[in-house]
Chains A and B, each alone.
Chain A
Amino acid sequence: MILTIENLKKQYGDKVVLDIEKFEFEKGLKYAIIGANGSGKSTLLKILAKTDKQSNGNFEFEKDTAVGFMPQHSFGFSMSVLNNIMLAFPLKYKNIAKVKTLEILEKLMLLPLKKKNGAHLSGGETERLALGRLLSNQHDILLLDEPTASMDVQSAIVAEKVLLEYLKQNGATLIFATHSLKQAERIADIIIFFANGNLIEYGKTKTVLNFPTSSQLIEFLQKA
């Protein structure tokens, strides 16, 4: 298990927005988290990425796991697109940073924008930049919060391809939130369904989508 969650809880005042009893993530698998707005997807990912703190409970990554996280709202630093990606490289990789950066820019169709200010990109461009920046370094597990939500269809397909290639190359684990059931179906081995901060149902992608058991998931899928 690359990640184990136990009694993880987050609340604001009296309002519980996340409450997971126990869950284990297996190394190398791809997990999609689905659920309505406000169901706690981002809350979980932020806690796992340690950009937010749980109110109670614990989680544990396997020893020496390098965690990469892409927040729901991608951010472009006000410097060139090229430098936006270069800044992700630790000092010891400085010599290969430029080549690797150009490579990833090319893959994500960002080469024509390489001199542009990262703060002046469109939503989908910023998302491609953020994904490229994360994928330019090695991580054992990726936490992606709606990584393609602002991308056009073609860009999203390209991004997915680049992502899958990365996961394969690095043997990395993926946990991502998405509102696209099609995307979950294309990518995920396991789907986790959230409602009101609770983990309602999970299982193999095809099973969950075709044979949902909980009334909440059945209703959710019907509306989709």
Chain B
Amino acid sequence: MMISGNALLREIVATTLQMAFSSSLLALLIGVPIGVLVANSNFHGKKIIVVLMRTLMGLPPVVVGIVIFVLFSGTGPFGSLRLIYSVDLMIIAQVCLIFPIVAGMTETFVSSISSPILETAKGLGIGKLKTNFLTLNESKYQIVAIYLFAFARAISEVGAVQIVGGNILHKTRVMTTTIALNYNTGQFTYAIALGIILLLIALGVNLIASLLQRRTK
């Protein structure tokens, strides 16, 4: 019983980590370039885009979950992809949820530091693409922090993954959905134990990140 319990726990933790690392990394890869580009360019309607980005940062996970569910369910436009109730779709839902946060945080930070960078680069005749990379380089430290936030959001999120993943045992069950299930069935001790493991994982990731940050300083 104990052994199978441990095996199950390991499986759930593994699925959780796979999901959280994938979705936070993808959200970073999509969100950071958007944030840098918006911050560094001047175009008509930029203010509207920024407001939109900041609004999307507050997307409720449940709503994202429902929308993705509808899009990918059997009768939805992407139904033929057969992704419903899969870890892949959980990742897609989380990326939708998290990349606007990454983009918004990146835009806010880059806007606060960009003016001397843009001025200097322009004065040297450096092109836009290279200027964006230079800006990125100046933002390394902050981007690690933004990544941590994205990861924390991914690993602790339950609303969207519950809906599109369905909390299926041995397939899409992750720590948060297990905790919710245990709570519903009254197994509080197990729920809290899982919560503590989740926190420990977050702590581990944070420790690695702060080592990384120290090297970028």
B120 on the interface (CB 8 Å rule)?
A: yes
B138 on the interface (CB 8 Å rule)?
A: yes
Are B124 and A68 interface neighbours, CB within 8 A?
Answer: yes
| CB neighbours of A139 from chain B (8 A) | 125
Select one of B116, B125, B137 contacting A71, CB under 8 A: B116
Are B126 and A87 interface neighbours, CB within 8 A?
Answer: yes
A49 on the interface (CB 8 Å rule)?
A: yes
Stretch at the interface among A24-32, A74-82, A183-191, A192-200: A74-82
**Tally of contact residues, A, Cβ under 8 A:** 24
Chain A interface mostly: loop
Q: How far is the CA of A51 from the CA of B125 in the complex (A)?
A: 11
Q: How far is the CA of A73 from the CA of B125 in the complex (A)?
A: 17
Q: How far is the CA of A71 from the CA of B121 in the complex (A)?
A: 10
| CB neighbours of A50 from chain B (8 A) | 122
Are A77 and B134 interface neighbours, CB within 8 A?
Answer: yes
Mark out the residues of chain B between 104 and 128 whose CB falls within 8 Å of any chain A CB in the assembled complex.
Answer: 116-120, 122-126
A66 on the interface (CB 8 Å rule)?
A: yes
Are A71 and B119 interface neighbours, CB within 8 A?
Answer: yes
> Which of B116, B120, B137 neighbours the largest number of chain A CB atoms within 10 Å of its CB?
B120
| CB neighbours of B117 from chain A (8 A) | 75, 77
A9 on the interface (CB 8 Å rule)?
A: no
Nearest B residue (CB) for A117: B217
Q: How far is the CA of A77 from the CA of B136 in the complex (A)?
A: 11
| CB neighbours of B130 from chain A (8 A) | 87
| CB neighbours of B140 from chain A (8 A) | 78
Nearest B residue (CB) for A67: B125
Select one of A46, A74, A88 contacting B126, CB under 8 A: A88
A104 on the interface (CB 8 Å rule)?
A: no
| CB neighbours of B125 from chain A (8 A) | 66-68, 137, 139
Contact bitstring A60-75, B, C-beta under 8 A = 1, else 0: 0000001111110111
**Tally of contact residues, B, Cβ under 8 A:** 15
B213 to chain A, nearest CB (A): 13
A118 to chain B, nearest CB (A): 10
| CB neighbours of B119 from chain A (8 A) | 46, 49, 51, 69, 71, 75
| CB neighbours of A130 from chain B (8 A) | 120
Are A87 and B134 interface neighbours, CB within 8 A?
Answer: yes
Contacts A71-B116, A75-B116, A75-B117 known; A49 to B138 CB distance under 8 Å? no
A121 on the interface (CB 8 Å rule)?
A: no
Select one of A68, A77, A79 contacting B123, CB under 8 A: A68
Select one of B116, B123, B137, B138 contacting A69, CB under 8 A: B123
B133 to chain A, nearest CB (A): 10
Q: How far is the CA of A42 from the CA of B16 in the complex (A)?
A: 54
A51-B122, A69-B122, A130-B120 given; 8 more Cβ-contact pairs under 8 Å: A50-B122, A67-B125, A73-B116, A74-B120, A77-B138, A78-B138, A88-B126, A134-B124
Binding site for A on B (CB under 8 A): 116-120, 122-126, 130, 134, 137-138, 140
Q: List 27 A-B contacts (CB under 8 A).
A: A46-B119, A49-B119, A49-B122, A50-B122, A51-B119, A51-B122, A67-B125, A68-B123, A69-B124, A71-B119, A71-B120, A71-B123, A73-B116, A75-B120, A77-B117, A77-B120, A78-B137, A79-B137, A87-B126, A87-B130, A87-B134, A88-B126, A130-B120, A134-B123, A137-B125, A139-B125, A143-B123
Binding site for B on A (CB under 8 A): 46, 49-51, 66-71, 73-75, 77-79, 87-88, 130, 133-134, 137, 139, 143
